[in-house]
Structure 1
Amino acid sequence: MALLHRAELRPTKLELLATWLPSRDWYAGVGDVTRVAGYRFDDPAGQVGIETLLVRGGDGPVHQVPLTYRGAPLDGADEWLVGTVEHSVLGRRWVYDAVGDPVYAAALADAILAGTGQAEEYFEVDGRREVRAPSMDIASDAPAGDVPTVGLVRRVVDGDPTLIVTDTVELGVIRRPGSVAAPNTATLTGAWGDVRAPLAYASRR
């Protein structure tokens, strides 16, 4: 489950992405960045926020941007740093393009290979849990099974799709859902509005 805070972010996530996204070769947006939908994964250790945003720049295509939020810098991941934000509850947060974060790689592998799905999002309101309805659905076509322990991220090939190579699993993140077909392997599919498209895929090494 993902506990959400009613908090202010400076800059906001979309302001941060409006600066960072144009630096990516796979980005094809023009104009203001707006949120289309999103989903979250759980970090079993409860230390890292894991959120994937679907965003659009102007009238451009929808892009998938997985992010991790950390309370301290991630060693060796400077090239994946999107920026920092000031969170009115949690303080300074380091925001990373999640493809370079091993916590994200493990969560994505679980979602695809074990079908763990997305985290339920909720607020604490007067001591009770207030669940926020998801803005999209995700589902895996892989039969549920054991997932090998995902160790370090050994290599990332940025592009569309972005390839993540770990000790035990190779993952692909489709940056523009619908732009490319997933290979014939375990696939995570997303649905929002009247759109249904592959988001990511995985194979054991």
Structure 2
Amino acid sequence: MAILHRATLTPTKTELMAAWLPTQEWCGGAGGALTPLGAYRFDDPAGEVGIESHVVELGGRTFHVPLTYRGQPLDGAERWLVGTMEHSVLGTRWVYDAPGDPVYRAELVRVICEAGTQVEMFVDTPEGPQRREPTMQVRGSGGAVPDEPQVVVVREPGAGERPASALTLAGTWPGRSTETVLASLL
């Protein structure tokens, strides 16, 4: 279960992704306005790292952007740093491209192998936690954990890329009712 704070983010997640995405080689220089299509969350068992993945449209293409949010920089992960944001409740957050974060990789392996799904989300309000409807659905395929699993994130879901294995995370979102592979394990 994810508890979300009612907070102001500077820059916003959309602004941060819009600045970072076009600089990524796998984005192929796509530009224009970034449109969020859906998002899902996983839980860090230790409760320290926010894990949220976004499906966005940029330049007429759909991209899968998993991010992690940390209260301190992740040692040795400078190349994975997307940027920082100010969170009005939690303070400075270091935002990472999630495949470079060991907490994300471990949780993705667990969700895929246990045929898990995204967590339920609740917004913290003065009246108590209020359930937030998900903007997309994901599920793991289930299966045995491979020896030394390697995570493969599908950056452009639905663009014809074949899954690296039968161990996958697939999802649907508004405008895409057919399950589409978002990640797999080797």
Fold-level similarity (TM above 0.5)? yes
Query: How many Å separate the matches in 1 of 2:39 and 2:137?
Result: 9
Partner of 2:116: 116
Contact 1:47 1:70 in 2 (8 A): yes
Give the total of aligned pairs.
182
Per-residue CA distance 1:52-86 (angstroms, 9 max, x = gap): 0111114x211000000000000000000000001
Identity of aligned residues (%): 49
The Cα shift of 1:192 comes to 1.2
Q: Letter of the aligned partner of 1:69 in structure 2?
A: Y
Structure 1: tracts of 5 or more residues without a match: 149-166
Offset of residue 18 of structure 1: 1.4
- In structure 2, the residue matched to 1:106 is 106
Q: Deviations over 1:122-169 (max 9, x none)?
A: 0122342211011111112224x6x58xxxxxxxxxxxxxxxxxx821
- 1:170 aligned residue: 150
| TM-score using structure 2 length | 0.92
Give a deviation string over 1:171-193, Cα, whole Å, max 9, x none. Answer: 11100001212134211110112
Choose the corresponding residue for 2:167, options 160, 170, 186. Answer: 186
- Any idea what SS the aligned residue of 1:169 has? coil
In structure 1, the residue corresponding to 2:164 is in which secondary structure?
coil
Q: Per-residue displacement from partner, 1:15-65 (whole Å, max 9, x unpaired)?
A: 11111111111114320111110100000000000000111114x211000
Residues of 1 paired with 2:132 and 2:166: CA distance? 32
Q: Which residue of 1 aligns with 2:56?
A: 55
Query: 1:194 deviation in Å?
Result: 4.2
Does the CA contact (< 8 Å) of 1:186 and 1:201 recur in 2?
yes
Structure 1 runs of 4+ aligned residues shifted over 6 Å read none
Q: Per chain length, whose mean CA-contact separation is higher, i.e. which structure has more relative contact order (CA < 8 Å, sep 6+)?
A: 2
State the shift of 1:14 in Å. Answer: 1.1
2:76 matched to which residue of 1?
Answer: 76
Give the residue type in structure 1 aligned to 2:124: E
TM-score (normalised: structure 1): 0.84
Contact map agreement 2:41 2:119 (CA 8 A) in 1: yes
What aligned pairs does 1:152-171 form with structure 2 within 5 A after superposition?
168-171=148-151
Quickly say closer, same or farther: Cα 1:184–1:169, change in 2 above 3 A: closer
The letter of the residue matching 1:186 is L
**Letter matched to residue 187 of structure 1:** T
CA–CA distance in structure 2, aligned partners of residues 104 and 183 of structure 1: 18
